[in-house]
Structure 1
Amino acid sequence: MTIQDRGLSGGGDASRLIERPIEHHDAQLFGSDVVADTLGALDIPYIALNPGASFRGFHDSLVNHLGNEEPQMLLCLHEEHAVAIAQGWAKVTGKAMAVAVHSNVGLFHATMAIFNAWCDRMPMVVFGATGPVDAMHRRPWIDWIHTARDQGAIVRNYVKWDDQPASPGAAREALARAKWIAETIPQGPTYVNLDAGMQEAPLAEPLPDIQLDRLMPHVDYSPGAGAVADLARRLKSARRPVILVGRVSRSEAGWAQRIALAEATGARVLTDLKIGAGFPTDHPLSLAPPGVFPLPQAQAALDEADLVLSLDWVVLQGVLPAAKRPGAQIVHVSLDHHIHNGWSMDHQALTPVDAYIAADPDALVAELCREMDLSPSGTYRPAPQPEIAVPADPQAPLGVPDLARQLKRAVGDRAMSLLHLPLSWDGAFWPFRHPLDFLGSDGGGGIGGGPGISVGAALALRGMGRLPIAICGDGDFLMGVTALWTAVHYRIPLLVVVANNRSFYNDEVHQERVARMRGRPVENKWIGQKMADPEIDLAAMARAQGAAAFGPVRDRAAMDAAFADAIRAVEQGGVAVVDVRVEPGYTPAMAGALTRESGSKA
């Protein structure tokens, strides 16, 4: 098959016709050709990258040996964006995308995004490059400063595994191991560093065939029958059970099984805005709208629960004073302990539990449904949802509730996915009724990840008939805006709405707390936080990436018009950005949660 033939067999993906190389037939193979062939055989459709000389051999192999097909390169304008795109892809698919970053300097750029993916437990295979390791082959100056003795040490504490293979055969095995480990739960990024000398050396003879599937066996994390039977008994005898739905998959089958389990046991269910949708938020058994922190009504139910079942809840200690109640039982289902290494405190506090089941939460719920003879359907009767309040004064400044209400109205009954949400979002704004309705946060709190994550998620959603929507804060957008160029270039439809309060407002809140604690003027909290004088033209920055852009929007009528035009542009295959100028602030629910979490009276 020629390169052109491969390029026209992309299943209707328009981006497959972008950046097509001229036809070439290989006579001599090189070490990097083996790496590229292996990557193609691992069924990884894309590799996001910012180019660099350290992996020029690998880059050439992707283009001239594979024909920029399976995987196709996604050119990014910053290494953080490349990693974030892979994280967004994994949020939808549960599968690893490949990323390539240049030498130690590209890896330094990528570190924050890799940490986000680590905390978010999202798989990816990150390629680095170094050297040549053999100093006799290094060019003066540049090859020396871009060679590190142990480059993997830069990220070793927040990847699951890393390697620096010294031969094409070792590289082939390293790639298989990297993908296998990345996609085995708990999932996470892996790192493979390619020696520039190994990449560019001619291959003396073809390597023997290997069976990649046998090198990556399926790892079964189903619970034992005894643990399932014991948990079923606990649930049946509980009078006030609560289920905490944490890190679970985007599977529709798993979604239906969680609904069936809650309905069969009468368990109330709590979900979380730090992670993707795991249970319908308008189900009658939903305790409260999801939030970054639990709302008072949810905490009250937890305090009274006689059984709490945690399905890999991210911050268990933060919601479980119920653990101190006499007779209360806590069952935690998780495999997360397998990757706790002590460098990062992302493992959270050690929490007392009555039973710990080391299993995949999806597999555990599936086994419970079989044990209890349930027939999951995924259907339910939604509970009535309160409308977002309309300001009494129609001329009042815009707030995030206005943005949410009018965007929801503009979307109407379209299937949509919220790819990213700002901290000012209230979980009551928009019910989640499908596992792809909301994909969770950035994972590590690394601001600037939102745009890139959203591009990767939109790529994975392309062709599914869902409207991909990212709602970003202005600081997040400003740090990641050039990720949108990749979406425009590769025809990835995406709607980005910027909740633009012209401030790093979360830090204003912190400065106010400190001022109150110290008896100092709270009026000074804005200094070093406000992005004004001059105000930044976010729409112009979006247009500079090739996106359709609307705003700044300062009133409700203009917002309706902008949303209608932006959605139309996205449905025609484009990228659209709407800059909505909102007042700084949190909803009462979010503000109260933050105050309770900090112990402050601010």
Structure 2
Amino acid sequence: PPKRPPAMPEAPPPTSIERPAGLPAASNTLFGSDAIAETLRDLHIPFIALNPGASYRGLHDSLVNHLGNDAPQMLLCLHEEHAVAIAQGWAKVTGTPMLVAVHSNVGLFHATMAIFNAWCDRMPVIVLGATGPMDAARRRPWIEWIHTAQDQGAIVRNYVKWDAQPASPAAAREALFRAAWIARTAPMGPVYVNLDLGLQEDALTTPLPPLDPTRLMPPVTTGAPESLITEALTLLQTAQHPVILMGRVSRDETAWANRLALAETLSARVITDLKVGAAFPTDHHLHTGSPGIFPAQAALQAIAEADVILSLDWVDLGGALRTACNGPPAGRVIQVSLDHVLHNGWSMDHQALPPVDLFIAADPDQVAVAMLRHLKPAPTPPQPPLTPPNAPTAGPIVTPALAAALRLATGDRPVSLTHLPLSWDATSWPFRHPLDYLGSDGGGGIGAGPGISVGAALALRGSGRLPICVCGDGDFLMGTTAIWTAAHYRIPLLIVVANNQSFFNDEVHQERVATMRNRPIENKWIGMRMSDPDIDLAALGRAQGAQGFGPVHDAADLQAVFTAAIAAVDAGAIAVVDVRVRPGYTPAMASALTRTS
């Protein structure tokens, strides 16, 4: 297999793209939006993803002509949903928020699906909105009336951590600092700040007093009391069959090493999940069952047999326990999570209420550190080299063959899988680093994969890691124009479309309904298949500025095509590969869908 180059090519610096011309040496008059722009710079967030709109034209001008389109630099997006998805992808890698700007109520409506994804994924995103002047006498006829809302934050209030509509530049500064602080504080999530057009465009009569951002955004400690750590360790160390469910944890390498040491010291079996990013080496001898959207049968058996279960913010703990044990588990359950802080009566993303014997309201990574202080972990032996998969043989393509060919084409270089389809078999690609896999979209919102992957690839630029998005054709088609942003800003990325030419998940549901009603399952494809005419996905990629490959129909051709596409990405391009795969799920996924029907 080809060896990894020393590093992927570094993208051009921000000032080399869309550089403002003729900027004044100094402004004689400052406007409200200038103060807001300076506050955004004080947040030290390098980018603001946006789709432009007249409601924040004052802020747009300040970002360009007052700040020079630098710190933050604009990332022009062709749809507000992509702008938020890019910010979500950035957060998946960095654990920090990106800024997003959306136009008025209409842009916010476009962005809602992606905001909900970020909310369910517990990712920090700072969304800036705007409204026409709240002073009705200042509104331009017609357009600023339909783009003004009395309570615009109500559109997203049920799935953001906090929202505000400040009434002055001074209040806007404070709101932005508070928003950034809340978004970054665990449990993290999106926030929304709505900026009145009038306060943006009014001149400042007096300069605003300086503020110290470090004193307005203090770090919040989310550790656990020693008494609870001791109680949890007493349970775990006396257990005969302990199990650790590793859920929402960070991408930090030290935290990864701590989780590994904790599991090895306790001799606990470990279960991970494809809904969230990689949390533990999936080819480790303690890892049980392949990770999936639903737990595999081996994982369910381990949960049922466990006498102590440690949940590190597992997504849907109640559902997993109920499925594995057909009711409350016999073993003791320790839940480490802060997620209850976000639960509300509108969204059911909090999942089923789990039975818990010991609750530790703390950050899981900090709890692992605290537990290790009381233990004497043995040195972790080095991991053996990965065994390369067998090359796929000629014939129709299934998703595991796609994964095998992709692994062979990437060789021993570090790869970040930024997105995966429902048909993915996790046994085909071991995870050995917290950035090997970044998790799902969060809210099940189809169309997020390309945008999330662009944001993740932006965060990975120059890291030496190859970002790869493997997405379904429906996901790709809804998110295609996010690729233009990657092409425009020179963000290298490989997108592989597992194209079954169908909204296949719904075919499965239609087959299930037909079976229950004793009706013909042969009709399940109607209203699902995307053919006649076939859609040229590679051409759609080329239309956005990417290099297109395929469609690939024969498994024997995959490795060569992937090698060529990776070479294009190494040269700084975006590559889109259309792979025609047979519809279907892994046995574990199919079994899980049957159990949860």
Q: Give the letter aligned to residue 271 of structure 1.
A: T
Greater mean deviation of Cα atoms: 39-48 or 548-557: 548-557
Letter in 1 for 2:333: I
Alignment-derived partner of residue 575 in structure 1: 574
CA contact (8 A) 2:274 2:293 kept: yes
Q: Is contact 1:228-1:371 (8 Å) kept?
A: no
Please give the residue correspondences for 1:88-487 in structure 2 after superposition, counting only pairs within 5 Å.
88-321=89-322, 328-374=331-377, 380-381=382-383, 387=389, 394-487=393-486
The answer to whether the 8 Å contact 1:28/1:203 transfers is yes
Between the two proteins, what is the percent identity of the paired residues?
66
- Distance of aligned partners of 1:326 and 1:69 in 2 relative to their CA distance in 1, 3 Å threshold: closer
> Which residue does 2:6 correspond to in 1?
none
Aligned length: 584
- Contact kept, 8 Å, 1:49 with 1:79, in 2: the verdict is yes
Instruction: Spell out, residue by residue over 1:455-503, the C-alpha distance to the aligned partner (whole angstroms, 9 max, x if none).
Output: 0000001111100000010000000000000000001010000000000
The one of the two structures with greater contact order (alpha-carbon pairs below 8 A, sep at least 6) is: 2
Q: Calculate the TM-score normalised by the size of structure 1.
A: 0.95
Deviations 1:438-460 (A, max 9, x none): 00000000000000000000000
Q: Please state how far the C-alpha of 1:562 moved relative to its aligned partner.
A: 1.4
**Root mean square deviation of aligned Cα:** 1.6
- Are the equivalent residues in 2 in contact too, given 1:487–1:575 (CA < 8 A)? yes
Q: Quick check: 2:229–2:367 contact (8 Å CA) kept in 1?
A: yes
**In structure 2, what is the Cα distance between the partners aligned to 1:282 and 1:382?**
10
Residue 592 of structure 1, CA deviation: 1.7
Instruction: Tell me the secondary structure at the aligned position of residue 48 of structure 1.
Output: strand
| In structure 2, distance between residues paired with 1:379 and 1:482 | 45
Pairwise CA distance, 1:533 = 0.5
Partner of 1:86: 87
How far apart in 2 are the matches of 1:485 and 1:272?
A: 31
Q: Please name the residue that 1:75 is paired with.
A: 76
- Local SS of the residue matching 1:172: helix
Q: Which moved more, 1:109-118 or 1:24-33?
A: 24-33
Q: Tell me which amino acid in the other structure corresponds to 2:339.
A: D
Deviation per CA, 1:151-202, whole angstroms, max 9, x where unpaired? Answer: 0000000000000001000000000000000010110000000000000000
Aligned in 2, Cα 1:515/1:105: closer, same or farther, shift over 3 Å?
A: same
Q: Structure 1 residue 326: deviation in Å?
A: 7.6
SS at match of 1:112: helix
**Counterpart secondary structure, 2:130:** strand
Task: Please tell me whether residue 14 in structure 1 is matched to residue 17 in structure 2.
Answer: no
C-alpha separation between the residues in 1 aligned to 2:343 and 2:14?
39
Distance 1:224 1:344 in 2: 31
Name the CA distance, whole Å, in 2 between partners of 1:455 and 1:106: 20
- Distance change in 2, residues 1:325/1:188 (3 Å): closer
Deviates more, 1:232-241 or 1:167-176: 232-241
Q: Decide whether aligned partners of structure 1 residues 183 and 369 sit closer, same or farther in structure 2, where only a CA change above 3 A counts.
A: same
1:203 alignment partner AA: L
Shift of 1:589: 2.2
CA distance in 2, matches of 1:521, 1:41: 62
Question: 1:388 Cα deviation (Å)?
Answer: 6.8
Cα displacement string for residues 355-404 of structure 1 (whole angstroms, at most 9, x for unaligned residues): 110000000001001121437x66544598795795xxx44311111111
Residue 24 (1) aligns with residue 27 (2): no
Alignment partner of 2:259: what SS?
helix
Deviation at 1:325, TM superposition (A): 6.9
> SS state of the match for residue 302, structure 1?
helix
Deviation at 1:231?
A: 1.2
Structure 2 residue identity aligned to 1:531: M
3-state secondary structure, aligned to 1:319: helix
Q: Which moved more, 1:116-125 or 1:291-300?
A: 291-300
> What secondary structure does 2:309 align onto?
strand
Q: Larger deviation: 510-519 or 282-291?
A: 282-291
Paired with 1:299 and 1:147, the residues of 2 have a C-alpha distance of 51
Q: Distance in 2 between matches of 1:587 and 1:382?
A: 27
Matched position secondary structure for 2:275:
coil
> 3-state DSSP class of the match of 2:70?
coil
Matches within 5 A, 1:557-568: 557-568=556-567
Deviation at 1:595, TM superposition (A): 1.4
Q: 1:463 to 1:293 in 2, by over 3 A?
A: same
Q: Is the partner of 2:596 in helix, strand or coil? A: helix
Deviates most, 581-590 or 256-265: 581-590
Matching of residue 490 in structure 1 with residue 489 in structure 2: yes
The 1:385–1:519 alpha-carbon spacing in structure 2 relative to 1, beyond 3 Å, is: farther
* CA–CA separation in structure 2 for the residues paired with 1:30 and 1:141: 25
Pair 1:527 & 2:526 matched = yes
Task: Flag the 1:182–1:523 CA change in 2: closer, same or farther, 3 A.
Answer: same
Distance (whole Å) between structure 2 residues aligned to residue 493 and residue 44 of structure 1: 21
Cα deviation digits, residues 240-295 of structure 1 (max 9, x gap)? 00000000000101000001011101000000000000000011100111011111
Once the two structures are TM-superposed, the CA of residue 512 in structure 1 deviates from its matched residue by 0.1
Q: What amino acid does structure 2 have at the position aligned with 1:24? A: P
Which of 48-57 and 395-404 deviates more?
Answer: 395-404
Give, as a single letter, the amino acid of the residue that structure 2 aligns with 1:286: H
1:491 touches 1:574 (CA, 8 Å); kept in 2? yes
C-alpha contact 2:19 2:68 (8 A) present in aligned 1: yes
Residue 232 of structure 1, CA deviation:
1.4
Q: Distance in 2 between matches of 1:425 and 1:87?
A: 22
Letter in 1 for 2:459: A
Q: 1:4 maps to which residue?
A: none
CA deviations 1:398-420 (Å, max 9, x no partner) are 11111111011101101110000
Pairwise CA distance, 1:15: 3.9
Is the 1:186–1:339 contact (alpha carbons within 8 Å) kept by the matching residues of 2?
Answer: yes
Alpha-carbon contact 2:270-2:288 (below 8 Å) kept: yes
Moved more, 13-22 or 574-583: 13-22
